[in-house]
């Protein structure tokens, strides 16, 4: 699917703020409010917009994130189907993709309480018959870079995790608010208030408080980039010792480079994980070559081509 100019404008604004009302999008794009609503519906019906998402800084809630990279003993459609069914049963696994390269399956677990650890252990146990090798890491920090579908549009960055961040102890109604907003970040204040059994003013204040405290990093869309002709890819990197200035330049370059939309620093076999959406595999390897040339402290890069991305 090719996006027209109106669709590009609307989608870029929704990437910046998924809760932006249609009336304000209309003013920014010089479309009518009805036109904006039609564009959003059309993109949703065609599967370009998969959901309206709320991005959470999990470190502020006390979570720890554990990526797991798996090499399968055997891989075919039957095995992939069985693995997918196992994953769906376990709440601690929040993200997974199947890919080709050194690993066949990437998982991400978020752990807060003992029950989460037990669920993670149980799931990996159920998958053990399919696993040839696995590497488990601990996330230090992670950034998500908003996509822009317009040229020369400055990207914004959302903090997903920072191990140095202080935990905020949330109230029950705040946990419920987060749960509702993660299902649909464009849910109206009236509907949120009704489901939480509070007044609209209280509901609105709760959202503002969660944003101000940094628990909610932002609201955006989950865009099916494959529907727009893009190929999702991942790069796993090991890096040598470098100065703070060199490393800051590296992060800044990743934030500004078109195609890179996720930066993760971890403790494990690999130090850095980058995810990409590229128009071709050739573009992906050109980006990888540029990273090698610009930052000689990168020691090794392992590339993966994603096949079946899933986000719960």
222 found inside a domain = no
| Per-residue pLDDT at 151 | 79
Judge whether 202 lies within some domain: no
Report the domain count for the chain. 3
280 lies in some domain:
yes
In this prediction, residue 307 carries a pLDDT of 81
What CATH number corresponds to the domain at position 245?
A: 3.30.70.920
| pLDDT at site 1 | 79
| Residue where a domain stops, chosen among 86, 104, 138 | 138
Residues with pLDDT less than 50, the chain: 309-312
What CATH number should be reported for the domain holding residue 2? Answer: 1.10.10.10
pLDDT of residue 150: 85
Same domain, 155 and 246: yes
Q: Is residue 38 part of a domain?
A: yes
pLDDT tens sequence across 86-100: 999 999 999 999 999
Same domain assignment for residues 78 and 131 = yes
Residues 262 and 300 in one domain: yes
pLDDT value of position 308: 55
Best CA proximity match to 75, nearest among 67, 85, 83: 83
The pLDDT, as a whole number, for residue 57 is 96
In degrees and rounded to multiples of 5, residue 298 shows phi and psi of -75, 115
> Residue 249 in contact with residue 304, Cβ under 8 Å?
no
Quick check: is 155 in a domain? yes
Q: Are 261 and 202 spatial neighbours (Cβ–Cβ below 8 Å)?
A: no
Query: Is residue 223 a part of any domain in this protein?
Result: no
Asked if 117 and 3 sit in the same domain, the reply is no
In a shared domain, residues 144 and 263: yes
State the pLDDT at residue 310.
Answer: 43
Q: What torsion do the CA atoms of 177, 182, 188, 189 make, to the nearest 10 degrees? A: 20
Are 74 and 133 found together in one domain?
A: yes
User: Is 153 contained in some domain?
Assistant: yes
Same domain, 147 and 270: yes
Q: Is 189 a member of any domain? A: no
- pLDDT at residue 90, rounded to an integer: 97
Instruction: Tell me the per-residue pLDDT of 169-198, one tens digit each, with 9 for 90 and over.
Output: 999 999 999 999 999 999 999 999 999 999
Q: What pLDDT does residue 309 have?
A: 45
Residue that finishes a domain, picked among 122, 138, 154? 138
The model carries a pTM of 0.91
Which tens digits make up the pLDDT trace of 232-273?
999 999 999 999 999 999 999 999 999 999 999 999 999 999
Answer for the pair 259, 252: CB distance below 8 angstroms, yes or no: no
Range of the domain at 35: 1-46
């Amino acid at each position: 699917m090719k996006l027209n100019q109106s669709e590009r404008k609307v989608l870029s604004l929704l990437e910046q703020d998924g809760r932006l009302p249609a009336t304000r999008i209309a003013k920014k794009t010089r479309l009518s409010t009805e036109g904006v609503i039609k564009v959003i519906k059309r993109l949703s019906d065609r599967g370009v917009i998969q959901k309206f998402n709320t991005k959470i800084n999990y470190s502020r809630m006390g979570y720890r994130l554990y990526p797991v990279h798996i090499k399968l003993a055997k891989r075919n459609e039957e095995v992939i189907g069985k693995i997918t069914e196992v994953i769906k049963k376990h709440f601690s696994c929040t993200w997974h993709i199947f890919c080709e390269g050194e690993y066949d399956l990437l998982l991400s677990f978020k752990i807060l309480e003992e029950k989460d650890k037990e669920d993670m252990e149980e799931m990996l146990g159920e998958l053990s018959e399919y696993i040839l090798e696995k590497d488990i890491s601990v996330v230090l920090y992670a950034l998500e870079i908003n996509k822009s579908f317009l040229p020369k549009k400055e990207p914004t960055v959302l903090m997903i995790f920072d191990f140095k961040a202080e935990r905020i102890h949330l109230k029950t109604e705040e946990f419920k608010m987060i749960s509702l907003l993660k299902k649909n970040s464009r849910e109206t204040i009236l509907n949120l208030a009704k489901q939480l059994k509070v007044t609209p003013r209280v509901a609105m204040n709760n959202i503002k408080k969660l944003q101000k405290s940094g628990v909610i990093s932002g609201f955006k869309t989950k865009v099916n980039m494959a529907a727009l002709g893009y190929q999702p890819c991942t790069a796993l990197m090991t890096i040598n010792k470098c100065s703070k200035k060199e490393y800051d330049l590296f992060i800044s370059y990743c934030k500004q480079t078109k195609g890179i939309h996720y930066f993760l620093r971890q403790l494990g076999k690999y130090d850095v994980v980058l995810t990409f959406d590229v128009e071709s595999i050739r573009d992906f390897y050109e980006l990888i070559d540029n990273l090698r040339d610009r930052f000689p402290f990168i020691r090794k890069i392992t590339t993966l081509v994603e096949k079946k991305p899933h986000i719960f």
